[in-house]
Amino acid sequence: MNIRTTVAVPLAAFLLAGCATPEPRPDYDALLAQMMRDSFRDEGIAKADRLQQDAANAACSKAAAGSALPEALARSLQEAALKSVRLPSDGKFLGDWREGEKLAQSGRGMTWTDKSAAPATNGGNCYNCHQITAAEISFGTIGPSLLHYGRQRGVTDPESPLSRPIVEYTWTKLYNARAFSACSGMPRFGHAGVLDETQLRNLMALLLDPKSPVNQ
């Protein structure tokens, strides 16, 4: 065997190895989904079906993992969220701000130890993410401060037609915040059935009633 043959044989083997079919890339999304299904079970009112993502959650999960959300997709998700919003059945947007403050302070609800999944048993847990009143010394900062929310927006009479745009905006934000931001981290209180219509009205009053401590 001459030197050319000696060199050519291992070189050919190397080239053939380079052309071999690579190992398929694992489907990490599927593996993660299976791991989640295997790790949770139904317990009390908390069911494993909570792991099932809707289209918005699935898209936003991928975006959070580093895959940019295309502008057209973001717009379509916002439009779908806006269509999901149901305005008050009787046209009345505001309830009792005192009850709204109780909801804002409460983080209870939807855990496996609760006896009922009814919205009336849930709180809003608003202080976990927002400052709401000047008297509060401990509050979350994930979301913006809501102190003087109505006053800063010129809402002196929530029933006035002049206030209608901000009133409807606020209701929509509470009902399904993804109508304005496709991947908003704010709970979709109305859309997800976390709070009922009466509770939403009470939170609205907390934010917009001039007599509420929010606006003092």
Structure tokens at 36: 């989640």
CATH number where 163 lies: 1.10.760.10
How would you write the chain as a 3-class SS string? CCHHHHHHHHHHHHHHHHCCCCCCCCCHHHHHHHHHHHHCCCECCECHHHHCCCHHHHHHHHHHCCCCCCHHHHHHHHHHHHHHCCCCCCCCCCCCHHHHHHHHHCCCCCCCCCCCCCHHHCCCCHHHCCCCCCCCCCCCCCCCCCCCHHHHCCCCCCCCHHHHHHHHHHHHHHHCHHHCCCCCCCCCCCCCCCCCHHHHHHHHHHHHCCCCHHHC
- Within a domain: residue 42? no
pLDDT at 196: 96
Domain of 178?
Answer: 97-215
- Within a domain: residue 24? no
- Within a domain: residue 82? no
- Within a domain: residue 27? no
| Domains held by the chain: number | 1
Q: The pTM is what?
A: 0.82
pLDDT at 130: 96
- Within a domain: residue 118? yes
- Within a domain: residue 45? no
pLDDT at 113: 87
- Within a domain: residue 47? no
Per-residue model confidence as pLDDT tens for the chain (216 residues): 555 555 455 555 555 555 566 778 888 778 877 887 888 888 888 888 888 888 889 889 888 877 788 999 999 999 999 999 999 999 999 999 999 999 999 988 888 888 888 888 999 999 999 999 999 888 999 999 999 999 999 999 999 999 999 999 999 999 999 999 999 999 999 999 999 999 999 999 999 999 999 999
- Within a domain: residue 56? no
Structure tokens at 161: 């037609």
pLDDT at 16: 53
